[in-house]
Structure 1
């Protein structure tokens, strides 16, 4: 899919250019990480050309942008307000779609067995990306204790996204920040399912989970059964399988949803090694600072959510990495003023 770069990718490239011109510099660790994964991506792209595609470079651009974002000192409350524009727009579009006014900014829940119901999408490419922006809005709200009307609208929008990963993330957030509220919500959910089981059991359907395993079969054919050492080392240099491979699968889709499959298919085991080292370093950095809640956020987002449907090609990946890291830094600085040690240069 060597199409023209989408507008969000152009925006990221422009952002990186502006930051470089303004003198923003990466730390040693950040530079090593980007250089390492960049070399693997270039090698994979070159080996597999012309079957490779440029999308394998998007996560690297997003990661670099998140590093500059961390240093920008931008107000996270302003970022929160920007996220809410998308949240509110998506919610309004979903309401319009549910009353018969069709639009491309909402999405039918046909895959979940609810073809007549539409979920908010906004300017996001998927419901999960929309949910991630909602999650970031809520985390910033809790950290800054901003519980205005936008906070409650965002919770409603997240729930109406009907995205399991995002709703589970909401439960994790409530467990960390407002445990009693979570218990009340869980009790309400249990009572609702007891009373309206037949109407609500579709929401617990595992059919979509089974379909995710079926969607992985394309990578099984393209990567695991390639029996090619270079493919195992550097991947296919492509974020999608070929149409020929897709035709052999049940859903006939070339898009790779699973995050691990995406990494292996795009960068091979060398890329997986570099990314694994980076993740371990990130987790150890947060562990050393004893910011447990942010460690939980990173663990869930990077190891669980991306397993279901990855966001490496979406701007939500950049914002999540940047915002949570900024919050860790801010929390560490605040704690250092109360006697805890702090080293401002120790982050990826």
Structure 2
């Protein structure tokens, strides 16, 4: 029989955004609160969170860069665990089922959702931004959203699929990655390193670009054929020289005007730059005549679709995708404020920090 649930749980809650974003998350009011364990209503399931990744998006919410719908707010949107309780009308879900919780709650009925582009749903509610997230002991979600996780797949690895792996996977598909291509990945944090891994899995040669020597060395170890320090003023020209004219595709995961422009500058004629980094800068690019005459493309890429996440779960299940190196730090929920500070300062060069239960 299922074990009775406790009355309360710990949750990482944002009570106020940073008074001065330049000071980092220490200027925000983030607390580990004791909350009542939610009860699932009709059409809902309650997931006991085994792991929840800590993302730069969490940091952006705490800093006030990404506006939260309401405060206080439980953060976190990269979660996996087991179903702990079910409401009425939840289909075949049963207590004990292993699940991944998607980061976004799309409406499921609009034209975009019906055509498989649920990441673009205009009614989407993002965990930890628009609604209470999963950086807690339990999270209540609509029963139509969780995705089953195969029994032998590590739930910690499944958790980061929701964003840290699915977002670059979707970007690679938007960019048209393929066998034999030369791809440039700009920004070698959690998203960029998974883009590197997935691009190599697709048969591409990858050049990594970052300003952090540790990140560049990590990219070498993960199979980048070349790495380039983004701080050098001729970074784009250097990539074109290394590649004999430019890369086929590039992928940007930083979210600044400078790195977006760099993503275009590394391309060969006919190349495509895919921008997945989110920031406040206005988009800048090459002179219009040069851009047109070289028939280059720039596309945006946002989040991931349900289909993307399911495809990644299949790759994990088949043993084709190895995420064992991806989790650089496993922390307790009491250390969540420290995790935000690590992301802000890049202390200890985190790749993916995961809060485990």
Could you say whether these structures have the same fold, taking a TM-score greater than 0.5 normalized by the shorter chain as the test? no
The TM-score, its normalising length taken from structure 1, stands at: 0.27
Report the structure, 1 or 2, having the larger helix content. Answer: 1
Report the structure, 1 or 2, having the larger strand content. Answer: 2
The TM-score, its normalising length taken from structure 2, stands at: 0.26
